[in-house]
Amino acid sequence: MKIRLNHYLSNAGISSRRKSDKLIQSGYVKVNGKPVSRLGTIIDTNDIVTFNGSKIKIKKKIYILLNKPKGYITTTKDPFNRKTVMSLIPNLYKYRIFPVGRLDCSTTGVLLFTNNGHIAEKLTHPKYHIKKIYHVSLNKEIKNEDLYKIRNGKIFLKEGKVKVLFVKRNSRSKHKIKIGLYVGWNKIIKRIFKKLDYRVITLDRVFFGGFSKKNIKIGKWCFLNKKEVENIIIK
């Protein structure tokens, strides 16, 4: 079967297609023993592909959905020996899975793991407009005028104007908020409310790119099959 080289690298879990192009241009990729640096190169899946001297091959695709608890950082390794989300899904290192996107240490909720670089890119690249929904608990009741500012694009952060899909107050508790947005700027939710002089007490991502944590207890995870992922992401 014929396949683009960058797609092959992505399916082998090396990196996303976009980043694979940079690896190809760097000269670290060889096909049947010959260096390949031309973008758009087509290979056969039976060809021998090496990256940085090591043979690679397309791996079985793994998809895991975790309801992340507090106290874990979203990375595969940590030089300071802090707890990472990888410790919550043991015995799966052989598949070279990695968390998609980031939730900071104190944030809970939906987190996807995979070894499919193409899917990871679709969930994180801004051009795909991936929807995210958060439940936010603040240190005090939010004012109507502040809700108006968030809802109508009156908040500016260093990256620019913040555009949200919606923001609404919990009908039973005025210090609890539900907010949806496409942008994935670093710690954007906490920075939005800090700009308005509120402090985020708890932050929970309940929806991410079509995935929900429904029926998954905090700290628990489940496998997703290829069809489930494709139905949500691959349009």
**CATH number of 227's domain:** 3.30.70.580
Q: Are residues 146 and 193 in the same domain?
A: yes
Domain count, the chain: 3
Q: Report the CATH number at residue 190.
A: 3.30.70.1560
Which of the listed residues 39, 56, 73 is the one where a domain comes to its end?
56
Of 17, 34, 56, the last residue of a domain is 56
Spatial distance between the Cα atoms of 10 and 46, rounded to a whole number of angstroms: 16
Asked if residue 35 and residue 149 are part of one domain, the reply reads: no
Residues in the chain: 235
Quick: pLDDT tens for 49-78: 999 888 988 777 889 999 999 999 999 888
Instruction: Give the model's confidence band at 12: pLDDT under 50 very low, under 70 low, under 90 confident, else very high.
Output: confident
Alpha carbons 92 and 136: distance in angstroms, whole number: 32
Q: Establish if 170 belongs to a structural domain.
A: yes
In a domain, 41, yes or no: yes
Q: Using the structure block, give the residue that is written with the tokens 């207890």.
A: 217
Q: Based on the fold, state whether residues 193 and 138 are members of the same structural domain.
A: yes
The amino acid at residue 192 is I
Same domain, 142 and 185: yes
- Domain stop point among 56, 84, 99: 56
Task: Return the bridge partners of 4, or none.
Answer: 42
Claim to verify: residue 178 and residue 222 sit in the same structural domain = no
Residue 181 included in any domain: yes
Residue 145: inside a domain, yes or no? yes
Is the same domain home to 100 and 143? no
- 186 shares a domain with 154: yes
Q: Is residue 124 assigned to a domain?
A: no
Q: How far apart are the first and last CA of the chain?
A: 23
Of residues 132 and 230, the one with the higher pLDDT is 132
Residue-number span of the structural domain to which 85 is assigned? 63-114+215-232
Residue 121 located in a structural domain:
no
Average pLDDT, the chain: 90
pTM over 0.85: no
Are residue 194 and residue 85 in the same domain, yes or no?
no
- Cβ–Cβ under 8 Å, residues 43 and 49: yes
In this structure, are 172 and 104 located in the same domain? no
Residue 38 in domain: yes
Supply the CATH number for residue 12's domain.
3.10.290.10
Do 80 and 17 have their domain in common? no
Quick one: 46 and 106 in the same domain? no
- What is the token pair recorded at 70? 């507090």
Residues annotated as catalytic (active site), given as ranges:
104
pLDDT at position 234 is 54
**184 burial class (0-12, 13-18, 19+ CB within 10 angstroms)?**
middle
- SS (HEC) of the chain: CEEEHHHHHHHCCCCCHHHHHHHHHHCCEEECCEECCCCCCEEECCCCEEECCEEECCCCCCEEEEEECCCCECCCCCCCCCCEHHHHCCCCHHHCCEECCCCCCCCEEEEEEECCHHHHHHHHCHHHCCCEEEEEEECCCCCHHHHHHHHCCCCEECCEECCCCEEEECCCCCCEEEEEECCCCCCHHHHHHHHCCCCEEEEEEEEECCEECCCCCCCCEEEECHHHHHHHCCC
> ∠93-83-194 over CA atoms, to 5°?
125
Question: Are 139 and 202 within one domain?
Answer: yes
Residue 46 lies in a domain: yes
Please report which confidence band the pLDDT of residue 233 belongs to, taking 50, 70 and 90 as the band edges: low
Note the pLDDT tens digit of each residue in 191-202: 999 999 999 999
231 phi and psi angles, rounded to 5 deg: -60, -30
